[in-house]
Amino acid sequence: MSIDRMSIPPISTVLAMLGVQPGRNRRSRCPVHHGNNPSALSFDDEHGVWFCHRCGIGGDAITLVREAYGLDFRDAVSVLGISDNSDPHLVRDRGFELRNRAKAGLLNWAKTLGRQLREEFRLRGRIELYGLERLRLNPDDEMGWKLLQVAYDGLPAEELETWLDRIDIGTEEQRLAAYVELRSTGRRGTF
């Protein structure tokens, strides 16, 4: 199959077809590894080449479609609408765009959840250390054992923050009363 190189569309056009907005300064997100870095992929429409600095791969528009869709050469040429005697036209793949959006949404959700879990583990760790320090000084310290119970019980993060605020102030009796009040809410999270 012989292809007229002039019939191959510019990289910026192919990126738009793949659902990636071509960025400024000939940089863009990479449709191959679906990253969020807006400058991971360099492209040059004049020369018809691209290179992803994260993936470490590059090539022409046909290679970009091959890598993004996982196609062979003939199928990539077909997706680009290139034939021996026709004008190039792009076949927009709506499913590919939807998959990219779903993947981006899942990545954002995972990042948000990861931040929330790290914060919860940090709060639990502070309570655990406080309880262990009290028990190191006095193994019969009721407050120390209750702190460990709170740290390992699976209370939601909001309650952990409330608990931390209350154990840092007041007398021993006030702290125990705060613990009893917190426990009487009956709420349990998952740990």
Number of domains the chain contains: 2
Question: Mean per-residue pLDDT for 113-135?
Answer: 82
Work out the mean pLDDT of the chain and round it to a whole number: 76
Give the C-alpha separation, 96 to 115, whole Å. 29
Give the C-alpha separation, 96 to 15, whole Å. 12
The CATH number of residue 79's host domain is 3.90.580.10
In a domain, 56, yes or no: yes
pLDDT digits (tens, 9 = 90+) for 140-165: 888 888 777 777 776 666 666 666 66
Query: What is the predicted pLDDT for the residue at 51?
Result: 93
Query: Looking at the structure, do residues 76 and 153 belong to the same domain, yes or no?
Result: no
Give the C-alpha separation, 27 to 16, whole Å. 13
Residue of 32, 69, 191, 83 lying closest to 127 (CA atoms): 191
Give the C-alpha separation, 34 to 20, whole Å. 9
In a domain, 105, yes or no: no
SS3 string, the chain, reads: CCCCHHHCCCHHHHHHHCCCCCCHHHEECCCCCCCCCCCCEEEECCCCEEEECCCCCEECHHHHHHHHHCCCHHHHHHHHCCCCCCCCCCCCCHHHHHHHHHHHHHHHHHHHHHHHHHHHHHHHHHHHHHHHHHHHHCCCCHHHHHHHHHHHHCCCHHHHHHHHHHHCCCCHHHHHHHHHHHHHCCCCCCC
Query: Looking at the structure, do residues 62 and 14 belong to the same domain, yes or no?
Result: yes
Query: What is the predicted pLDDT for the residue at 118?
Result: 82
Query: Looking at the structure, do residues 83 and 16 belong to the same domain, yes or no?
Result: yes
Query: What is the predicted pLDDT for the residue at 125?
Result: 82
Query: Looking at the structure, do residues 87 and 131 belong to the same domain, yes or no?
Result: no
In a domain, 106, yes or no: no
Query: Looking at the structure, do residues 19 and 82 belong to the same domain, yes or no?
Result: yes
In a domain, 55, yes or no: yes
In a domain, 103, yes or no: no
Query: Looking at the structure, do residues 14 and 83 belong to the same domain, yes or no?
Result: yes
184 has a pLDDT exceeding 50:
yes
**Among 42, 59, 92, residue at a domain's last position:** 92
Extract the tokens encoding 176. Answer: 């125990």
In a domain, 84, yes or no: yes
**Among 42, 60, 92, residue at a domain's last position:** 92
Percent of the chain with pLDDT over 70: 70
Query: Looking at the structure, do residues 16 and 82 belong to the same domain, yes or no?
Result: yes
Query: Looking at the structure, do residues 123 and 169 belong to the same domain, yes or no?
Result: yes
Please calculate the CA angle 111-114-120 and round it to the nearest 5 degrees: 145
| Residue-number span of the structural domain to which 133 is assigned | 113-184
In a domain, 151, yes or no: yes
More confident residue, 162 or 67: 67
pLDDT digits (tens, 9 = 90+) for 14-38: 888 888 888 778 898 888 888 888 8
Query: Looking at the structure, do residues 88 and 117 belong to the same domain, yes or no?
Result: no
In a domain, 74, yes or no: yes
Query: Looking at the structure, do residues 118 and 82 belong to the same domain, yes or no?
Result: no
Query: What is the predicted pLDDT for the residue at 159?
Result: 66
